Amino acid sequence: MSRGSGKGLSLKDKLDGNELDLSLCDLNEVPVRELAALPKATVLDLSCNNLISLPSDFCSLMHLVKLDLSKNRLQQLPLDFGRLINLQHLDLLNNRLVTLPVSFAQLKNLKWLDLKDNPLDPVLAKVAGDCLDEKQCKQAAVRVLQHMKAIQSEQDRQRQQKLQAEREMEKKREAEQRAKEAQERELRKREKAEEKERRRREYDAQKAAKQEMEKKTKKETVHTRKPASSSRPPQRPRHKFSWSRSVLRVLLFVLFCILCALAACKLTELQHQPLCVSVNTLYEDVVAALQNHKTLQNMLQHNSK
């Protein structure tokens, strides 16, 4: 195996029982494929190399029980580092780690952990404590696992809250959408009712106008059918007036005849006839009777003047 790439030399030469020692090999990459071909190598030593990061497929080495990554330049671990569920012993001494992935909480079999000489987050550093002896390293493993489980639980809780909030928001949007659709349906229903009412009013107006026109036409028909009945009442006074004129004419004619007879009896030779004598006598009696009335007398005097 050449330095740097980790290729060119069979790893079997480094395998001793179940232990594979790749320390001090000046590695900057982990030969994951070759390691996966050696499932018997449950103890892997990668200390004192130039590793800056671990590839994501490194977490497929689930057969690892003990892993030494001390004295490298690791800045972070893969997010799914917790897939190494069989891991019991983990040495991360003297790297550049600040935090651990949340999946670290899944390393339920982890019993030994060393995080010394890393620029850890103050909270994580306090939780991990020192690893100066076997007991402290075991306690560090327990405390860090509890701490990461708490972080995982909190993240799960936040995730659940977020999901719940998203579900509630989705329900709210659905409710608003349903309300909007219901409002639109109500609006369309109201517009339809208003349109129907408008057509009904137009129909009633047309019907009323038609009935009014029929009444007017019927009246005009009645008036045109009975012209005599409307003209008869004014004709009655005219008949009456004609009758009065006839009577007046008759009276005037009789008076004229009387005057003529009187003139004949007064001015002609017939005044000595018996009929004229009676007429003259009657005239004189009438004149005498009329002269006895003061008013008529005055009128007669005025006429004589």
What is the predicted pLDDT for the residue at 268? 73
Q: What is the spatial distance between Cα 208 and Cα 215, in angstroms, rounded to a whole number?
A: 10
Q: What is the spatial distance between Cα 225 and Cα 214, in angstroms, rounded to a whole number?
A: 16
**Which amino acid, 295?**
T
What is the predicted pLDDT for the residue at 260? 78
**Which amino acid, 144?**
V
What is the predicted pLDDT for the residue at 1? 46
Q: What is the spatial distance between Cα 125 and Cα 113, in angstroms, rounded to a whole number?
A: 12
pTM, two decimal places? 0.56
Q: What is the spatial distance between Cα 178 and Cα 171, in angstroms, rounded to a whole number?
A: 10
Running DSSP on this structure, what letter comes out for residue 13?
G
Q: Residues 102, 156: contact at Cβ < 8 Å? A: no
Query: Which DSSP helix (H) or strand (E) runs through 258?
Result: helix 227-267
Q: What is the spatial distance between Cα 155 and Cα 138, in angstroms, rounded to a whole number?
A: 26
Domain edges within the chain: 13-155
What is the predicted pLDDT for the residue at 215? 85
pLDDT, tens digit only, all 305 positions of the chain? 444 544 445 788 889 899 999 999 999 999 999 999 999 999 999 999 999 999 989 999 999 999 999 999 999 999 999 999 999 999 999 999 999 999 999 999 999 999 999 999 999 999 999 899 999 999 999 999 999 999 999 989 998 999 999 999 999 999 999 999 999 999 999 999 999 999 989 999 998 898 888 888 888 887 776 554 444 555 555 555 577 778 888 888 888 777 777 777 767 766 677 777 777 787 777 777 766 765 656 665 665 65
What is the predicted pLDDT for the residue at 295? 62
What is the predicted pLDDT for the residue at 9? 53
How remote is the C-alpha of 28 from its chain's centroid? Answer: 63
Sheet strand arrangement including 112-114: 15-16, 19-21, 43-45, 66-68, 89-91, 112-114
User: In degrees to the nearest 10, what's the CA dihedral of 106, 111, 112, 118?
Assistant: 30
What is the predicted pLDDT for the residue at 83? 95
Of 272, 300, 273, give the one whose Cα is nearest residue 286: 300
What fold is seen in the domain 13-155? 3.80.10
Residue 46 region, left (φ>0) first, then alpha (ψ -120 to 50), else beta? alpha
What is the predicted pLDDT for the residue at 2? 43
Strand partners, 114: 91
Q: What is the spatial distance between Cα 38 and Cα 15, in angstroms, rounded to a whole number?
A: 9
